[in-house]
C-alpha cells in the first residue's frame, strides 16, 4: 500500500507547510503544529518546498516559522507550490533572479 505524502507545519501561524517528500496531486497528510490533518495538493511539489495551506493573495506575507519569510507576487491558491515563481524572499533580494530548477542566476551574463 502506498503511503500518503506528508508536509510539516512549523507554527500554527504559518500559511505554508514544507513537503517532507515529493508531493503529487492529491491528498497530503499534515504534521506539526496544525489543527487539520490533510490538504489536497493541486500540483507536483518538490521535497523541501512549500505548499500553500490556504489562499494567499498577491502582496500578502508568506508565513513560515510564524514569521514573514517573503511576499506573494501573485495569488497563490491553497494546495499549490509556493516558490520563487509566486513569491519574493525577504532574506535574499536576488532570489527573484534565480532559475527555479537549477538555482543559477538569470540576471548575470557570462561571455
The three cell numbers locating residue 102: 537549477
pLDDT 10s digits, 38-89: 999 999 999 999 999 999 999 999 999 999 999 999 999 999 999 988 998 8
Q: Which residue has the higher pLDDT, 93 or 7?
A: 7
Whole-prediction pTM value? 0.82
Decide if pLDDT at 110 tops 80: no
Number of domains in the chain: 1
CATH number, domain at 27? 2.30.130.110
1 within domain boundaries? no
Range of the domain at 84: 6-97
Amino acid at each position: 500500500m502506498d503511503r500518503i505524502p506528508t508536509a510539516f507545519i512549523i507554527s500554527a501561524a504559518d500559511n505554508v507547510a514544507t513537503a517532507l517528500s515529493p508531493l503529487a496531486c492529491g491528498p497530503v497528510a499534515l504534521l506539526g503544529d496544525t489543527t487539520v490533518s490533510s490538504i489536497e495538493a493541486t500540483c507536483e511539489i518538490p521535497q523541501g518546498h512549500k505548499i500553500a495551506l490556504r489562499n494567499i493573495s498577491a502582496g500578502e506575507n508568506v508565513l513560515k516559522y510564524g514569521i514573514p519569510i517573503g511576499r506573494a507576487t501573485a495569488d497563490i491558491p491553497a494546495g499549490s507550490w509556493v516558490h520563487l515563481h509566486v513569491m519574493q524572499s525577504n532574506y535574499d533580494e536576488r532570489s527573484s533572479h534565480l532559475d527555479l530548477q537549477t538555482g543559477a542566476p538569470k540576471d548575470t551574463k557570462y561571455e
